[in-house]
Amino acid sequence: MEELSIFVDESGDFGAYEPHSPFYLLTLVFHDQSVDITENINKLNNSLRNAGMPDYTVHTGPLIRREYDHKHLSLFERKQAFNFLYNFVRTTDITYHSIVMEKKHLDKDIGLTLQITKQFSEFFNKHMETLMQYDRIVVYYDYGQRELTHALVTLFTIFSNNVEFRKVSPANYKLFQAADMLCTLELLSLKAERKMLSNSELMFFKSEKELYKSYLKAIQKKRLN
């Protein structure tokens, strides 16, 4: 049976526009289950273990901002963890697509849902022939946002009658951590273009130019348009 895994992560929320959070992003990571990525996962786990971070869950945004479980890590350690996951994402046979919305221009009640539906439908219609080659599509999401969970179920079942949904924890799936990283990098790309990077982001990446040169340029080659 040919199976496609899709890992979903988001950045932002369904609330009204706020100047400090102007964007909403939805990122889908695609992995053909016939492609074995065990070696890539083992390499990532070994890198983290050798750095003294066994079983460490990389949550990219808080890692950059030194929040939550990442508070105790130095800048060097945080960059290590970031680069370990980045190299996993870069070298693993996966692709991704990001849906990007600027909330300032959307109706506060239904605008976000309409845009997700529109952009999602456009992407699926464009890639329908490829997606329909799979006997089963399994969508992985942490059900973090009720509105998005409902939208995903509705949209995927419209486009496929062989879709399955699974609730996941980031700690249990490296590809879910990959979706989180790719979503964050797409957000950083938007912010860098508009000179909106925060102090903590500039401290981590040094400059917009360095962010693009060292991370965005290579990783965005995996993006499906």
Query: Which CATH number fits the domain that encloses residue 217?
Result: 3.30.420.10
- Judge contact between 142 and 169, C-beta under 8 A: yes
Helix (H, G, I), strand (E, B) or coil at 175: helix
Tokens of 83: 């680069």
Confidence (pTM): 0.95
CB proximity list for 185: less than 8 A, separation 6 or greater: 60, 215, 216, 219
Task: Report mean pLDDT in 10-residue bins for the chain, 225 residues.
Answer: 96 85 94 98 96 91 92 94 98 97 80 90 93 94 93 92 93 96 97 95 96 97 95
**Residue 14 pLDDT:** 86
Q: How many domains does the chain have?
A: 1
Q: Report, in this order, helix, strand and coil percent for the chain, each rounded to 5.
A: 55, 20, 30
d(CA 57, CA 70): 10
CB 92 within 8 A of CB 40: yes
Q: What is the pLDDT of residue 58?
A: 93
CB of 181 closer than 8 Å to CB of 84 = no
Phi-psi region for residue 68, left (φ > 0), alpha (ψ -120 to 50) or beta?
A: left
The per-residue pLDDT for 1 is 82
Report the sign of the C-alpha dihedral through residues 178, 184, 187, 192, in that order: negative
Range of the domain at 20: 3-222
Instruction: Determine how many CB atoms are found less than 10 A away from the CB of residue 216.
Output: 17
Q: What is the C-alpha to C-alpha distance for residues 124 and 138, in angstroms, rounded to an integer?
A: 15
Q: Give the closest residue to 151 by CA, choosing from 180, 95, 110.
A: 110
